[in-house]
């Protein structure tokens, strides 16, 4: 299958970069930094007091899973519908202008209306049902949910589950971060009541 638009494909379609792949790396820095600061400051404080080492293990696992699923969401195929090569486009344009078949179709089975099939004038393909053209990536995406600016790619039928897992792990990681930071502040305050934090 041929992809074009603003996406780039590698390894025979196994790795696909969205319109702004660097955004995924910036997002990873953004959500990893608080976790790394916590790992460096709060967890040694907890371990020193003999509280538990499992917190460090839990944070490590959560960080790994959050990064893994953000990577898998950002660099996998969201469900891009292949576009025509430039040479075929010209032929398609002339064929369609002759036959005037650029109109939308209604998909029916035994007379029962199922869905409307639209023609994408940018990709030059008839879109399957539930397919939307993403203006950021310049591609039609099957099962399009939204274009995620944080990951720089579309969320569609093929990476939707990965995106949901990414959100679950990211939220759990941030809740743990918040709880650790608050606990760290309370523990230090209990040790040195007059101390300010920095």
Tell me the closest approach of the beta carbon of residue 44 to Zn ion, in angstroms: 42
Q: Is 11 a catalytic residue?
A: no
Tell me the closest approach of the beta carbon of residue 82 to Zn ion, in angstroms: 10
Residues 95 and 89: their CA atoms lie apart, in Å, by: 10
| C-beta closer to Zn ion: residue 13 or 34 | 13
- The separation between CA 112 and the C-alpha centre of its own chain, rounded to angstroms, equals 36
| C-beta closer to Zn ion: residue 52 or 122 | 122
From residue 152, alpha-carbon distances to 8, 110, 167 in Å are 12, 42, 15
Residues 165 and 134: their CA atoms lie apart, in Å, by: 23
Q: Which of 134, 137, 140, 148 is catalytic?
A: 148
Residue 94: count of CB within 10 angstroms of its CB:
10
Query: Can you give the binding site for Zn ion, defined by CB under 5 A?
Result: 120, 122-123, 133-134, 136-137, 140, 147, 154
| C-beta closer to Zn ion: residue 35 or 81 | 81
Residues 172 and 160: their CA atoms lie apart, in Å, by: 19
Tell me the closest approach of the beta carbon of residue 163 to Zn ion, in angstroms: 13
Residues annotated as part of the active site:
148
């Amino acid at each position: 299958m041929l992809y074009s638009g603003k996406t780039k494909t590698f390894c025979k379609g196994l790795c696909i970069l969205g319109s702004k792949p660097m955004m995924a790396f910036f997002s990873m820095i953004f959500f990893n930094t608080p976790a790394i600061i916590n790992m460096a400051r709060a967890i040694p404080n907890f371990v020193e007091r003999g509280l538990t080492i499992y917190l460090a293990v839990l944070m490590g696992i959560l960080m790994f899973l959050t990064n893994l699923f953000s990577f898998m969401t950002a660099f996998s195929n969201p469900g891009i519908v292949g576009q025509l090569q430039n040479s075929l486009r010209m032929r398609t344009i002339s064929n369609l202008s002759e036959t005037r078949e650029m109109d939308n179709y209604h998909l029916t089975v035994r007379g029962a209306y199922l869905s409307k099939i639209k023609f994408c004038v940018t990709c030059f393909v008839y879109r399957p049902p539930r397919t939307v053209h993403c203006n950021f990536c310049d591609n039609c995406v099957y099962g399009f949910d939204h274009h995620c600016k944080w990951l720089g790619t579309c969320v569609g039928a093929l990476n939707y589950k990965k995106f949901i897992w990414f959100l679950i792990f990211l939220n759990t990681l941030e809740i743990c971060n918040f709880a650790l930071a608050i606990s760290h502040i309370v523990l230090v305050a209990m040790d040195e009541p007059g101390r300010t934090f920095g």
